[in-house]
Amino acid sequence: MLINIVDVEATCWEGEPPPGQVNEIIEIGICVLDTKTGAITPPQSLMVRPELSQVSPFCTELTGIRADDVSDGLLFSEACSKLVTEFDVKNRIWLSWGDYDRKQFTRDCEHKQVGYPFGSEHINGKALHAQLTGRGKQMGMARALEAYGMRLEGRHHRGADDAHNIARIVARLMADHGPAILGERSSVAG
C-alpha cells in the first residue's frame, strides 16, 4: 500500500494576522511511503502563491520561505489538481504530523472555494506515534526523531523536508509494530 505523507507551511505572523489577511498554505511538502517495503520517495515541494495574505518577515524567519519564493507559485487550485493527478490523493490514505495540515487544507478549500482534494482517510501521525509508543503525550516531529536517535534532515518548517522526516518516523513505527498499524486507523483518524 502507498500512503502520502504531507506537511504544509502557511503564512503566519508573530501574533494575530494583519487586518484582512488569513493563514493560507504557501508550501505543500509530500512524499510517498510504501508500507510493504518502507521505501520513501524523494520529497517534493509544491510552492503555492498566497491569494489572501502576504509572507511576513516572521514567516520567512520560521520557514525560510520568502515572498519571492511563492510569487510565481501555483494557485491553490492548481496545487490541489496536481496532488490529485500526480499523487492519487483521492484514493490513498494520507498522513500528517498532527491535525493542523488537514484543518488548514479544509480552511483553504473553504476560503478559495476549491474542492477538497483528499479522500476521507487521514491519519494523525502524532497521535499514532503517541499511541504506539505508549508515551501518552503527543510530541513534535523533531522530538520524535530525537527519541529514535535520528537527526532531523533538511530544514525544520519546510514542507518537503518535514514530510520526509515524518515518513522516516512512520517507517520506523512500521518496523517496530508492523505495517498493519496504518490499517488500524479508527483511533488515530483525524
Supply the angle between the helices 125-133 and 159-177 in degrees, to the nearest 10.
Answer: 30
In a domain, 190, yes or no: no
pLDDT tens digits, 120-130? 999 999 999 99
- Give the CATH number of the domain where residue 149 resides: 3.30.420.10
pLDDT tens digits, 151-170? 999 999 999 999 999 999 99
Instruction: Provide the pLDDT for residue 139.
Output: 95
pLDDT tens digits, 65-112? 999 999 999 999 999 999 999 999 999 999 999 999 999 999 999 999
Q: Confidence class of residue 137 from pLDDT cuts 50, 70 and 90?
A: confident
In a domain, 187, yes or no: no
pLDDT tens digits, 17-72? 999 999 999 999 999 999 999 999 999 999 999 999 999 999 999 999 999 999 99
In a domain, 189, yes or no: no
Helices (H), 7-158: 57-63, 67-71, 76-87, 100-112, 125-133, 141-147
- Which residues, including other chains, have CB under 8 Å from residue 75's CB and lie 6 or more apart? 48, 49, 51
Say how far apart CA 146 and CA 121 lie, in whole Å: 28
In a domain, 138, yes or no: yes
Let me know if 129 is a catalytic residue. no
Let me know if 61 is a catalytic residue. no
Contact in structure between 185 and 160 (CB atoms under 8 Å): no
In a domain, 125, yes or no: yes
* Domain extent for 47: 2-182
**Is pLDDT of 188 > 50?**
no
- Which residues, including other chains, have CB under 8 Å from residue 165's CB and lie 6 or more apart? 141, 142, 145, 150, 152, 153, 154
**Of 27, 122, 129, 157, catalytic:** 157
**Of 9, 27, 122, 164, catalytic:** 9
Instruction: Provide the pLDDT for residue 134.
Output: 86
In a domain, 69, yes or no: yes
Domain count, the chain: 1
In a domain, 101, yes or no: yes
In a domain, 188, yes or no: no
